[in-house]
Chain A
Amino acid sequence: GENVEQHPSTLSVQEGDSAVIKCTYSDSASNYFPWYKQELGKRPQLIIDIRSNVGEKKDQRIAVTLNKTAKHFSLHITETQPEDSAVYFCAARLSYNTDKLIFGTGTRLQVFP
């Protein structure tokens, strides 16, 4: 079946440093890639998304890049802050079932003050 691989599973950075999380997807026709942030004990919430006709998208300190040829996309967080500590999930929408998002396995980001 289709899947999304996500790396690393855990990431520790010092406050102010950058963090990068990478995902690879298998459905070459996937066209929508959201990123979700889940704080401890809370629900996953959308933080940024990108469609396949765009190579990069930025929103303040976060950005997402997409390489369709290589079938991978990445989340970049700059100037990290302790409140960025959470589990981050990437996802890819299947081209043949647009109701279905396949989630990556999650990255636990810890930002140390």
Chain B
Amino acid sequence: DTAVSQTPKYLVTQMGNDKSIKCEQNLGHDTMYWYKQDSKKFLKIMFSYNNKELIINETVPNRFSPKSPDKAHLNLHINSLELGDSAVYFCASSHETVAGNTIYFGEGSWLTVV
């Protein structure tokens, strides 16, 4: 059983299109995230939701809109795709413990904008 699953894994699309990436976690975690990893492998947080409520919204263009219908799902919709949006997008989830808040990543969605 995959703990954090996201679809699609690969997405090739043209500039100007709108696309969505879906994410689901079955770990019972309260917090979910979207991270972007660019070609240089930098991992940058985009959004964080806790129990369906937006907690973190980094300086991401408003073409990116996350939606959390329930605490097990966090989808990412991207409007008017640009070449610079090409990256790997990782969904993740976590929950707070005494030891810390381990983040579990999904397998990633490789987005290529042509």
Contact = CB atoms under 8 A, between A and B. Distances in A.
Interface of A: 32, 34, 38, 42-46, 49, 51, 87, 89, 93, 97-101, 103, 105-106, 108
B contact residues, range: 20 to 34
Contacts of B103: 34, 46, 101
* A-side interface mostly: strand
B108 A43 contact: yes
Contacts, number: 56
Contacts of A32: 100-101
A46 B105 CA distance: 9
Given A42-B107, A44-B105, A103 B100 contact: no
Contacts of B43: 44, 89, 103, 106
Given A89-B43, A97-B56, A103-B43, A46 B102 contact: yes
Interface string B95-114: 01001111111111000000
Contacts of A89: 43
